[in-house]
Amino acid sequence: MRVAIVGATGLVGTTMLRVLEERNFPVTELLPVASARSAGSKVLFSGKEWTVITPEEALLRAPQLALFSAGGGPSLELAPRFAQIGCRVVDNSSTWRMDETKKLVVPEVNGDVLMAEDFIIANPNCSTVQLVMVLKPLHDRYGIRRVVVSTYQSVSGTGAKAIEELQAQRRGSTETTVYPYPIDLNLIPQIDVFREDGNTKEEEKMIRETVKILGDEAVKVAATCVRVPVVGGHSESVNIEFEKPFELEEVRRMLSEFPGIAVQDNPSLKEYPMPLLAAGDDRVFVGRLRRDATVENGLQAWIVADNLRKGAATNAVQIAELLLQKGFLG
């Protein structure tokens, strides 16, 4: 199994390597791919050093699987070229997510949509992944009318330079090259560019991707996405309005039984999800479950996940595992 990691030297790419190794994915030959300026450098995988190569070199070596985390431009150009040689592509950029001909997949939620003809599969936005993991079992049981979500997104979602800038500002730097304002001791209510309707592109992603993954145009989503001075881990305050009445104990039970979800909901002991505790974990954590008495059938929840893992790298590897299970790789 020749596996290419396109963007192997970035934050998500290096996490993909770690997750592949942890989950014992059957990689017989690794093709770490990056830009020409990184070609020739080394990455460590399964106790061995592998040389970083260019996309052109990787194409010549015909991998069966390529995990992409190199940004929208490279994905738009390269993903079809890899697919044309029979390589399955799992892409972490936003390029293919809303393409009607491409599947947008969270394996626990809608893995059944993957078919033999799918050669480019989209990995959802990190904040969308953790949201739909919680919404899916509840929507199946109660029917969701409306979701209002406010995100608290860490700087690792922007990349290594954002982490460096936050740490530099904590040491006293006033330089702002990644964000329009200092992120240390601050919150920035803008992630990505603004659209004509006043939403940012990140908010638009969450709205549209949630509906596509759940497969139900009737679900209404409102989102506000905020960058916070946390190194890693995204958090979400979520308000859900259901079609049917619910019992909190049943909600807790259903969520605790759903694959990949951990319920941390014991306020008397101050037990609730936090980014600090989710770091390095592949699960989605949910807590602060309580009724919203201002609407009929309203539920409030707090959701946290490691955005580099389940929000990106782990979900991509899980898609690859699913392709393997279905007999689409080999």
Tell the residue number behind the tokens 């994905």, with chain if given: 75
Q: How far apart are CA 302 and CA 100, in angstroms?
A: 31
167 phi and psi angles, rounded to 5 deg? -65, -35
Judge whether 126 and 157 are in contact, CB under 8 Å. yes
Share in percent of the chain as helix, strand, coil (round to 5):
35, 25, 40
Burial of 246 (0-12, 13-18, 19+ CB in 10 A): middle
Decide if 126 is catalytic: yes
Catalytic residue among 87, 126, 139, 225: 126
Task: Indicate which residue of 87, 139, 225, 234 is catalytic.
Answer: 234
228 to 30, 46, 196, 200: CA distances (angstroms): 35, 34, 24, 16
Tell me whether residue 320 is exposed, middle or buried, using C-beta atoms within 10 angstroms of its C-beta: 0 to 12, 13 to 18, 19 or more. Answer: buried
Establish whether 139 is a catalytic residue: no
- Residues with active-site annotation: 126, 234
